[in-house]
Amino acid sequence: MILHSLRKTLTLVTLWLIALLILSPLLVVLWRSLESGVDSYQEAWLRGNFLLAFANSTIVAIGVTFLQLLTSALAGYALARFNFVGKRAIALLILTTLVIPLQILVIPIFLVLKWVHLLDSYAALILPTAANGFSILLMRQHFASIPVELEQAASLDGANRWQVLTRVILPLSGPALVTVFLFTFIGEWNDLFKPLVFSTSPDLVTVQLALASFQEQFTNRWSLLMAAVVIATLPIMLIFLIGQRQLIQGIGNTGLKN
């Protein structure tokens, strides 16, 4: 009994130390941002033009997230339930895209966007990442874990494929959809590469571009710079805290069935 209590105590202490180690950079940022009081946040917000940046990042993140939810749900369901020629090859091709970063494809993507006159637009920041291999494979694994008998029962009641997907499968896929939403939204909010390459318009500045510009202007004012970092990070931290439970559940459910 004593040995069990000792092990439990050591485990808790170890976990707390690990958590403190992980959170220490965030605590340092928060502490430095408050050195000059809350006035640093007001000054950073006004000087960094974060209102426009927040609006643009929100539009881009929501646009990409919506398209990735749509493409990953449809493609994942097709790969999980339909049998067709080339299914394995397509799944392998999608898996291969996970090791190909966007930076390698930047030149052809840039040329295509220029050819269709979409540079310096929201479309240029949304369309290049409208589909994602990780999201598709995650949804495929989740759909594969749902018993086929549920779909068969719905079909016997007269439901077609689209009705089965929208009325039976998707309502059971909340955690997986939330997982895709969180990964996509947070990734797009933190993205600096696409706005830097595909847009030069000051009207399309995103949070990360605004933060990079802010850093160049106020390199030596640490409290102001850290306040800007907190402002830029706060939305995604709140979104993650709200959806973390379903995120863990969604990732866990994808491993139930191959």
- pLDDT tens, residue by residue, 62-107: 999 999 999 999 999 999 998 888 888 999 999 888 888 888 899 9
Say yes or no to pLDDT of 256 above 60: no
pLDDT of 31: 85
CATH value at residue 92:
1.10.3720.10
Round to whole Å and give the CA distance between 221 and 36: 10
- Tokens for 170, please give them: 């998707």
Residue 47 near residue 214 (C-beta atoms within 8 A): yes
Cα–Cα nearest to 110, from 119, 121, 123, 100: 119
Say yes or no to pLDDT of 110 above 90: yes
In a domain, 111, yes or no: yes
In a domain, 5, yes or no: no
Q: How many structural domains compose the chain? A: 1
Q: Note down the domain range covering 190.
A: 36-253
Round to whole Å and give the CA distance between 255 and 258: 7
What are the Cα distances from residue 46, in Å, to 42, 170, 172, 231? Answer: 6, 42, 44, 11
In a domain, 51, yes or no: yes
Of 62 and 44, the structure prediction assigns the larger pLDDT to 62
Round to whole Å and give the CA distance between 241 and 235: 10
In a domain, 11, yes or no: no
Residue percentage of the chain with pLDDT more than 70: 94
Round to whole Å and give the CA distance between 164 and 155: 7
Alpha helices in the chain (DSSP H): 2-33, 39-47, 50-81, 87-96, 106-115, 122-126, 133-145, 148-156, 161-164, 174-189, 193-198, 207-217, 222-253
pLDDT of 251: 65
Which amino acid, one-letter code, is at 241? L
In a domain, 192, yes or no: yes
pLDDT of 257: 46
In a domain, 17, yes or no: no
Say yes or no to pLDDT of 236 above 70: yes
Of 47 and 248, the structure prediction assigns the larger pLDDT to 47
In a domain, 12, yes or no: no
- Tell me the range of 76-90, 93-107, 121-135, 149-163 where mean pLDDT is highest: 121-135
Round to whole Å and give the CA distance between 55 and 66: 16
Q: Put residue 73 in one of left, alpha, beta given phi > 0 → left and psi -120 to 50 → alpha.
A: alpha
Say yes or no to pLDDT of 132 above 90: yes
In the chain, the N- to C-terminal Cα span, in Å, equals 40
**What would the mean pLDDT of 21-41 be, rounded to a whole number?**
82
Could you report the per-residue pLDDT of 194-225, keeping only the tens digit for each? 999 999 888 999 999 999 999 888 888 888 88
In a domain, 28, yes or no: no
